[in-house]
C-alpha cells in the first residue's frame, strides 16, 4: 500500500530529518506515559492479529495530558519495545523518542484538538474500506450503529497524511465517534484505547453485515429509522450498569 510504503521510507529518512520532525527533547517518559505506551502497543498489535490492518498500515494513538503517544512510522508493531515510546505535543512537535511519528499524525491531532478523545484508532479494515467505495454513508442496518452516533458517514477521498484528509474526516465525524475514509479505511475514537478499538471492531462488523445483506439478489436490506437508532442509543447508555 502507498501509505505503508511511505511509512517505510519515513522510517529510513526520519532519522536524517527528511520529514522535518524537530529533534526530540530527550526527556524521559513519565510513568503514566510508559504505561499508556504498553497499552498502545498491545492495541496496535491487536489490529494486525484481528485482520484490521496489514503490515504497518493503520495507526493508533492515546493522549496522556497534553502529550499524544502514537505509533511510529514504518515499524512493525511486534518489534516495538518500551524504549520506542514516541510522543508529540498537540502542535505536533516531537517530545518523546527518536522514531518519526506516523504519517497520519495530522488526522490524529485533529481529533484531539476538536473532541474529548482519549484515544484514536485508524485501520484499513477490508469490509469497511469496501463500503467506503460504494456509498456516502453506512446505513443503519443494526442497532449497534447507535454506538457510533448513527449512520456512519464517508469522508471524501484525500491523499493520506494531509491536512485535507484531516479536515474531511472532521466533517464526517461531526456528532459521531467513527467514520469511513473513502478508498482508505476507518477512524474511530473513544475515551480509552479499549473503547476506541471496540468501536473500530463494531464498525468493521457493521460494514461486513451490510455488504452481506446487500449481496442477496433481488432483496434490499431493511434499515432502522432515526427514532429506532435513537432509542437504541438511550439503552446503550445504560448497558452494563447496575440497576437500582
Residues facing 94 on adjacent strands: 88
The answer to whether the beta carbons of residues 186 and 179 sit under 8 Å apart is yes
Kindly give, in sequence order, each residue whose CB lies less than 8 Å from that of residue 103, ignoring residues fewer than 6 positions away.
3, 6, 7, 10, 73, 160, 161
The answer to whether the beta carbons of residues 121 and 197 sit under 8 Å apart is yes
Annotated catalytic residue, options 3, 33, 104, 204: 104
Q: Give the C-alpha distances (Å, rounded to integers) separating 14 from 11, 53, 79, 219.
A: 5, 23, 18, 52
Strands (E), the chain: 59-64, 67-70, 87-89, 94-96, 119-123, 137-138, 152-155, 178-181, 185-190
* Residue 33 bears catalytic tag: no
CB-count burial class (<10 Å; 0-12, 13-18, 19+) for 89 = middle
Residues annotated catalytic, as ranges: 104
Amino acid at each position: 500500500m502507498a501509505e505503508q510504503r511511505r511509512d517505510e521510507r519515513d522510517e529510513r529518512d526520519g532519522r536524517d530529518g527528511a520529514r522535518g520532525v524537530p529533534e526530540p527533547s530527550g526527556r524521559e517518559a513519565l510513568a503514566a506515559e510508559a504505561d499508556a505506551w504498553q497499552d498502545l502497543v498491545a492495541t496496535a498489535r491487536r489490529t494486525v492479529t484481528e485482520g484490521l490492518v496489514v503490515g504497518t498500515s493503520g495507526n493508533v494513538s492515546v493522549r496522556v495530558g497534553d502529550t499524544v503517544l502514537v505509533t511510529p512510522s514504518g515499524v512493525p508493531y511486534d518489534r516495538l519495545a518500551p524504549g520506542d515510546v514516541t510522543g508529540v505535543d498537540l502542535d505536533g512537535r516531537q517530545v518523546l523518542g527518536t522514531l518519526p511519528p506516523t504519517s497520519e499524525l495530522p488526522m490524529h491531532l485533529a481529533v484531539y484538538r476538536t473532541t474529548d478523545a482519549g484515544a484514536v484508532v485508524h485501520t484499513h479494515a477490508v469490509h469497511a474500506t469496501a463500503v467506503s467505495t460504494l456509498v456516502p454513508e453506512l446505513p443503519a442496518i443494526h442497532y449497534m450503529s447507535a454506538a457510533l452516533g448513527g449512520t456512519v458517514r464517508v469522508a471524501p477521498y484525500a491523499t493520506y497524511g494531509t491536512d485535507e484528509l484531516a479536515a474531511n474526516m472532521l466533517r464526517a465525524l461531526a456528532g459521531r465517534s467513527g467514520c469511513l475514509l473513502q478508498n482508505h479505511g476507518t477512524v474511530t475514537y473513544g475515551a480509552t484505547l479499549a473503547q476506541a478499538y471496540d468501536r473500530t471492531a463494531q464498525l468493521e462488523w457493521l460494514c461486513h453485515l451490510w455488504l452481506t445483506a446487500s449481496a442477496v439478489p433481488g432483496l434490499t436490506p431493511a434499515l432502522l429509522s432515526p427514532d429506532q437508532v435513537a432509542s437504541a442509543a438511550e439503552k446503550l447508555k445504560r448497558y452494563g450498569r447496575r440497576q437500582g
